[in-house]
Every structure is written in structure tokens, then in C-alpha cells.
Amino acid sequence: MPTTFFTDPDAWSARLCAEPIPVLAETVDQLTDLALLEERSGSVDAHMIADAIGGDTLMTLRVLAHLSRHRGSQQVTDVHTVTAAVVMMGIGPFFRAFPPAGLRTVEDLLARSPEQLSAVRRLMARSWRIARVVTEFELQHGDSHAAALQVAALLGDSAEILLWCHAPDIARQLGQDPDEARQRQVLGCSLAELLQALMRHWQMPELLRTLLAPQDGQAATAPQGRLLLLRPQRRLLALAGRVVEQAGQEPPAGLTLEELEELAGWLTLSTPAAERLAQQALG
């Protein structure tokens, strides 16, 4: 579909959400196996499905958005993880909502564009690495938002991933790892603002929207009190992103001394211990 140029995040959101969200082929393969196992023995549980979805940003989006938009009267709290979403839905209803044969794959969608497929896989891999790092940080930090923070890390590049899927001309203009000035020049908004618009469209839980709100704290969907309450988690998420970003440079680099001191403060560690943790978190 030819790219139409928009100048605000809600218009971009409507454009990107007009297309079904594709998922990774390996996710479809694993869900196919689980669907057969469930049909034969009824032995599939929510953890097995969550493990199959794993680091697939787009399938994670589909599951959480589906539950948010089909919320039943018995659901009184938000759900922030795939495991909890599947528990809420039930195994049978999950496979009826997401029959593996009906899931279009990223590989099929982008079969004629190795460049697009490579960009999507790169962004998903980066998101997965950030999720791993933030999980290690949260094991040290320790709070009730750890699982949601991991999911937020996995979803952080969703807007850019969908641009590569459905608006590749725009994604190419952004380039790899664009700064905010470039984002605003090309999109008319930042990627973080576009992500907020997408999450509003999908009716995603407020906690996830707040964790992923722009770092200036001006997201319309994130009340200031909520931003302040979640400041440690938001900073740990940002620092996890910096760890992965710096490690991907040539030659690889680490956090600055100022960032390490900030990380040490949040985690109540010495600065050398925080540096070791950041290095170990990359696996």
C-alpha cells in the first residue's frame, strides 16, 4: 500500500492499525504444535503459550490488545502479561481467538523485502535484549511491577516495527536509531508519542502506557502523579535501553559514569557493582 504522509500521532496510529498485526513464523509454528497438543491431550497451560510467544513483540501486542478490547465484566483489574491474559481468556478461547493457521507472519508479509524483514528482526531482538536487562535490574530492585516492566521493554519499539511493516518508505527516512529531531521531521511527532497513540487505540493498560510515556512526562494518557510514582521503574527501563544501545556500538561501550551512579542509586548498589550487573545482564 502506498505510504500516505501524516503529521500527528493519532493519524499515524489509525493508518498503522488499519492493517492486521503480523507475527513471527516461529511463533506460529510453536502455537501450531501447542494447539495440536491441546486438541489431543488438553495439557496446554498459560505458561506454555507465553513461552511460545516469548520475545515476539507483535504477538504480545495482539494478545494484550485483544484482551483489553474484549474485556469482560468479570475482569476488574488490568492485565499486563501474556500469561495473565491467557489465564483470563482460557486455553480454548485463546486458540479460537488466535488460530495459528489464521495468523499472518512477518516473513510472508515481507517476503519480497529482505531489508524490511531484517529491520523488524533487528528491532525485535533489541527489544528482547532490553527486556532481559530490565529483568535483571528488577530482580535487584524488586517490586510488584517487574513483570509489567519486562513487557513494556518488549513493546518499546512497537511503533517503529509497525512502520517497517506497513510504511517502509517512512521507516527508511527515519533511518536506524533516529534521534527525536529526525523523528519529528519525518513523522510530525516522536516515536514515543506515536506509541502512546497506538496504545490508546489498542486500549492497552494504563500501567504499560505510563511506563512507556515520553521521558519528558507530557504524555496525555499518563497522569503526573502516576509518572512520579513510577519514576524508578521508568528510569530503570531507560537505563536498560542505554545498556543495550551502548553495547551495540562499534567498539562496544558501557554506561557513562553519571548513568552508572544513577543506576547504582536506584538499585542501592555501589557504582562498581552496578557496572558489573549491567555487563552481566547482557548475558
- The whole-number pLDDT of residue 2 equals 45
- The whole-number pLDDT of residue 77 equals 73
Instruction: Tell me the C-alpha distance between 148 and 234, whole Å.
Output: 11
- The whole-number pLDDT of residue 215 equals 72
Work out the burial of residue 216: count CB atoms within 10 Å of its CB; fewer than 13 is exposed, 13-18 middle, 19 or more buried: exposed
- The whole-number pLDDT of residue 43 equals 96
Instruction: Tell me the C-alpha distance between 85 and 63, whole Å.
Output: 7
Cell of 41: 491431550
- The whole-number pLDDT of residue 262 equals 95
What domains appear along the chain, each with residue ranges and CATH number?
A: 23-103 (no CATH), 113-281 (1.10.3210.10)
- The whole-number pLDDT of residue 253 equals 87
- The whole-number pLDDT of residue 220 equals 45
- The whole-number pLDDT of residue 251 equals 81
3-class DSSP state of 26: helix
Q: Which residues of the chain have pLDDT under 70?
A: 1-5, 72-76, 216-227
- The whole-number pLDDT of residue 4 equals 53
- The whole-number pLDDT of residue 70 equals 80
